[in-house]
Amino acid sequence: MMISERHGKILEELRHKPDITVRELSRILCVSEPTVRRDLTELHGKGIITKRYGGAILNTGAADREIPFLLRENEKSNVKTVMGAKAASLVSDGMVIMLDGSTSAYHIVPYLGKFKDLIVITSGAKTAVALAEANIRTFSTGGQMLIHSFSYVGEQAEDFVRQINADILFFSCHGLTDKGQMTDRAIEEANLRKVMFESCKKKILLCDSSKFGKTCFYNMGSVKDIDGIITEGELPVGIAEMMNAECVMRN
């Protein structure tokens, strides 16, 4: 198991069992207790956890900002797989598709290989690799990489996106308020998504039901300005009523 995978697993275990011990982590990860302690020291140094006697606790605020892509990828992976399949049903041969750097957008990739002559632009480094492995013509936005999310952001990424005319954008957010505001924790990623909105004919939000009713720091816009929401559950009635949705895909 790679170090990044081990760190992701440690954070996952801490989320599910905050009082988990070094001994238990050692058994789950199949590594020595000194290795676990070194991992905890590194995560503590990044401000993601706080070490304590015999184990560690997750720093909620820091973890929200710094949570690794690997762990986010595994969160609700079954839900994201279902959403990815639904998203792919909106794709057709020859499309120009834009994907943000979210793990929700990443889960669309396995369903794109069956289409012909696709062009995909993404701000996700791991997503770009997966697309290339699927033999899909891929462009990366470039820019500054956010280390923990493997997403590109900044002026270079935004300038690249402004040059593109895409048919459809699939993107995500961290919270969808009861008033229909799409919100996020990372200003840089939110700003890039706003530029993506301007470059795409159709904008589809990928939003699992755990994000409904949540408000994060930064507003990205209203659901009234997008074309559809893909979710695994029931969309709140108020949000469904306020948006100009051609496709609200659920269940």
For residue 179, the domain's CATH number is 3.40.50.1360
- Domain boundary among the residues 46, 67, 88 is at 67
Mean of all residue pLDDT scores within the chain: 87
pLDDT score recorded for residue 4 = 64
The CA–CA distances, whole Å, from 199 to 76, 202, 206 equal 29, 9, 18
Q: What is the pTM for the complete model shown?
A: 0.73
Mean pLDDT of 156-184: 96
pLDDT-based confidence at residue 207 (cuts at 50, 70, 90): very high
CATH code (residue 32): 1.10.10.10
Residue 229 sits in the same domain as residue 127: yes
pLDDT digits (tens, 9 = 90+) for 23-62: 999 999 899 999 999 999 988 887 778 888 888 887 755 4
Q: How far apart (Å, rounded) are the C-alpha atoms in residues 184 and 110? A: 26
Residue in this structure with the two tokens 């995500």, named with its chain if needed: 172
Residue 14 sits in the same domain as residue 92: no
Residue 195 sits in the same domain as residue 162: yes
pLDDT at residue 67 greater than cutoff 60: no
Residue 94 sits in the same domain as residue 29: no
176 pairs with which residues across the strands? 182, 212
Residue 59 sits in the same domain as residue 88: no
Higher pLDDT, 233 or 111: 111
Mean pLDDT of 61-68: 49
- Domains: count for the chain: 2
Residue 104 sits in the same domain as residue 149: yes
Burial class (CB in 10 A: 0-12, 13-18, 19+), 250: middle
Structure tokens at 33: 């207790």
- Domain boundary among the residues 67, 94, 123 is at 67
**Residues 6+ positions from 226 with CB-CB distance below 8 Å:** 182, 197, 203, 204, 205, 243, 245
Question: Could you give phi then psi for residue 117, rounded to 5 degrees?
Answer: 60, 35
Residue 55 sits in the same domain as residue 82: no
Domain, as residue range, for 158: 76-249
**Best CA proximity match to 48, nearest among 31, 72, 27:** 72
Residue 16 sits in the same domain as residue 106: no
Residue 96 sits in the same domain as residue 61: no
Residue 113 sits in the same domain as residue 11: no
Residue 119 sits in the same domain as residue 179: yes
Residue 22 sits in the same domain as residue 94: no
